[in-house]
Amino acid sequence: MQLVTVKKKNFADYRQFIEKETEFELDFLVQRLKGKKIAMINATAYGGGVAEKLHSMVPLMKDMGVDVDWWTILGHEEFYNITKNFHNCLQGQEGNLTSSNIETYLKYNKMNASYMKDWHYDFIVIHDPQPAALIEFREKGEHEKWIWRCHIDTSTPNMEYWDFLYKFIVQYDAAIFTMPDYVKEGADLKNITFITPSIDPLSMKNIPLEKEEARAITCRFGVDTGRPLISQVSRFDPWKDPLGVIDVYKIVKKDFPSVQLALIGSMASDDPEGWDYLYRTLRRAGEDYDIKVVTNFNGISDLEVNAFQTASDIILQKSLREGFGLTVAESLWKGTPVIGGNVGGIKLQIEDGVTGYLVNTVEECAQKVLTLLRNPVLADDMREAAREKVRKEFLVTKNIQVYLRLFYQLSFPEHGFQKAQDQN
C-alpha cells in the first residue's frame, strides 16, 4: 500500500460555488466528524476518472479539517490484467472467471491487507473491484466502517464475476453507486447511497477562460474562429460514436456550409483498440479539412480541452452507451449547450430542451444541431440553466457533502440525517 501525496487546495476558494445553507451543513458535519479518520483506497494515483476525482476531493476535505488519507494498492501486471476483466465483465462483457484468476486476485488483496494491520481508521472507502476483497483479510476494528464505492454499471453483470465479488461487498457497511439504475437488481447491500461523478471548477480543465482566449487556442489547431464550431470531447471508442458524429456534421453542413467539427480525444500508447478506432475516424473524415481530429499526441492537454468546450457553439456527446460522461458536465459548466445520447448518466446531466437535448439517432442529433445554430437566442437561454445545473449537482463540493452525510449517518445512526440538518 502506498500513501498518495496530494497538492494543497483551499476550500475557501470553493465557497463561491455553494449556497449558505450548504456551507452551514458542511461546517456542521466537519465539526461532528472531528476525531474520525478516513482512508480512501483505489488502484492508482494517476490515469482514469477515479484518480482525477480523488486529486480534487481529498485535498479539499483535508483543508476543511477532515482527517483523510488516500492509499493505492500494490500490484503487478498479472493482477491488473485480471481486474480489467473484472471491470468489463461487471458491466456485462462475456468471459469466464478461472480458478487461476481467482487465486491471483485474492493473493494481491491478501498481500495489501497485510499492510493494514496497524491501521486505525473509522471509515475505509474502497473504490471499485480491484481492492474489494481487502475486507476479507482485514480484522475489522470494533468501530470501523467499510464503504464500497462502485463507479461502474453493475445492473446487468456477467454473473460469474458478480457472484464472486458479491460475497465480499455484501460484508460492507455501505455501498455507493452513481445512480439507482446501476445497482444489480436483488442485491442485498446495506446503506446504499448515490453519488454522481463531479468536476473541479478550479482545475485547469474547468477554470474560466475568456472567449477570445479560448478561440485563440483553438485557432492553433486550424479552427476558423469566425465560423460555427461543433465539438465532441471523448475517447476514440465505438461506444462514443465518433463516426456517427461525423455523419451528423455532414448532414448539418448541407444547410450550414460554414460549420466546422472538432473531435478531441486522449490516446494511450498501449491501447491498440483506441488507435484502430482513431484510424477509422480519420478515414470517415477523409479530406474534409473542416473536420479537426486532435489528440494529446498533437498538443491537447486540459487547457486545450477547456478551450474547445468554451469556444464551441455546441458540444456533442453522442454516446451509444455511457457510464456517466463527465465531459457533459464540463461543457455545461462553461455554458455551452450539449446534445447527448439518451443513455446512461448523460440523462442525469442534460435536461432535454432546457440545458441541451437528448437524442437517439444521427438524424435527430443533426436536427437539434440545426435548431441551435438557427436560434442563437435559444442557445443563450440554455447557457445559464446549464451552468446552474452543474453548480447544484455536479461540482466536487457536492461530492464532499454527500460523503460527509454518509459518514455522519454511519457514526450516528440513531440521529438520522434529517436531525443533523435541523440542528443547523
Same domain, 414 and 377: no
In a shared domain, residues 156 and 240: no
Asked if residue 112 and residue 56 are part of one domain, the reply reads yes
Sheet holding 123-127, edge to edge: 2-3, 67-72, 37-42, 123-127, 145-149, 174-177, 192-194
Q: Is 149 among the domain residues?
A: yes
- Per residue in 137-191, pLDDT (tens digit) is 987 777 899 999 998 888 888 899 999 999 999 999 999 999 898 999 888 899 9
Q: Does a structural domain hold residue 97?
A: yes
Q: Is residue 188 domain-shared with residue 46, that is, in the same domain?
A: yes
Tell me 11's DSSP state. G
Query: Rg of the chain's alpha carbons, rounded to an integer?
Result: 22
Give the pLDDT score at 74: 87
**Distance, CA of 170 to CA of 263 (rounded, Å):** 42
Q: Are residues 145 and 290 in the same domain?
A: no
Please return the burial class of 120, using the count of CB atoms within 10 Å of its CB with bins 0-12, 13-18 and 19+.
exposed
The 10s digit of each residue's pLDDT in 311-365 is 999 999 999 888 788 899 999 999 999 999 998 889 999 999 999 999 999 999 9
| 88 found inside a domain | yes
Mean pLDDT of 410-424: 59
Interval 363-381: pLDDT, tens: 999 999 999 999 988 888 8
d(CA 326, CA 245) in angstroms, rounded, equals 18
Residues 147 and 126 in one domain: yes
The residue among 6, 17, 121 whose CA lies nearest residue 58 is 6
pLDDT at 237 over 90: no
pLDDT of residue 110 exceeding 90, the answer is yes
Burial 147-175 (b: 16+ CB within 10 A, else e): bbbbbbbbbebbeebbebbbebbebbbbb
Domain membership of residue 40 (yes or no) is: yes
- Mean pLDDT confidence for 19-47: 91
Mean per-residue pLDDT for 193-206? 92
Q: What is the per-residue pLDDT for 272?
A: 66
Q: How many domains does the chain have?
A: 2
Task: State the pLDDT at residue 45.
Answer: 84
Q: Are residues 296 and 341 in the same domain?
A: yes
What pLDDT is attached to residue 312? 96
Residue 250 domain flag = yes
The confidence band for 422, taking pLDDT boundaries of 50, 70 and 90, is: very low
Over the stretch 254-307, which tens digit does the pLDDT of each residue have? 999 999 999 998 876 556 677 888 999 999 999 999 999 999 888 889 999 999
pLDDT at residue 417 tops 70: no
Q: Which residues pair with 3 in a beta bridge?
A: 71
* 204 in a structural domain: no
Q: What pLDDT score was predicted for residue 269? A: 58
Q: At 200, is the secondary structure helix, strand, or coil?
A: coil
Rounded Cα gap, residues 361 and 339, in angstroms:
11
Backbone angles phi, psi at 179, to 5 degrees: -160, 160
Residues 115 and 244 in one domain: no
C-alpha cell at 194: 448515490
Give a yes or no: residue 203 inside a domain.
no
Tell me, yes or no, whether 389 and 408 share the same domain: no
> What is the per-residue pLDDT for 320?
86
- Calculate the average pLDDT of the chain: 90
Asked if 228 and 238 sit in the same domain, the reply is yes
Please tell me the pTM assigned to this model: 0.84
- Is the predicted pLDDT of residue 84 greater than 50, yes or no? yes
- For 293-337, the DSSP string reads EEEGGGT--HHHHHHHHHH-SEEEE--SS-S--HHHHHHHHTT--
Q: Establish if 206 belongs to a structural domain.
A: no
Residue 294: give the domain boundaries.
211-393
The C-alpha atoms of residue 230 and residue 246 are separated, in whole angstroms, by: 11
Q: How confident is the model at residue 221 (pLDDT cuts 50, 70, 90)?
A: very high
| Cα–Cα distance list, 423 to 36, 124, 410, 418 (Å) | 20, 27, 18, 9
**What's the confidence (pLDDT) of residue 419?**
40
What is the CATH number for 79?
A: 3.40.50.2000
> Do 294 and 413 fall into the same domain?
no
- DSSP bridge pairs for 145: 123
* Residues 319 and 350 reside in one and the same domain: yes
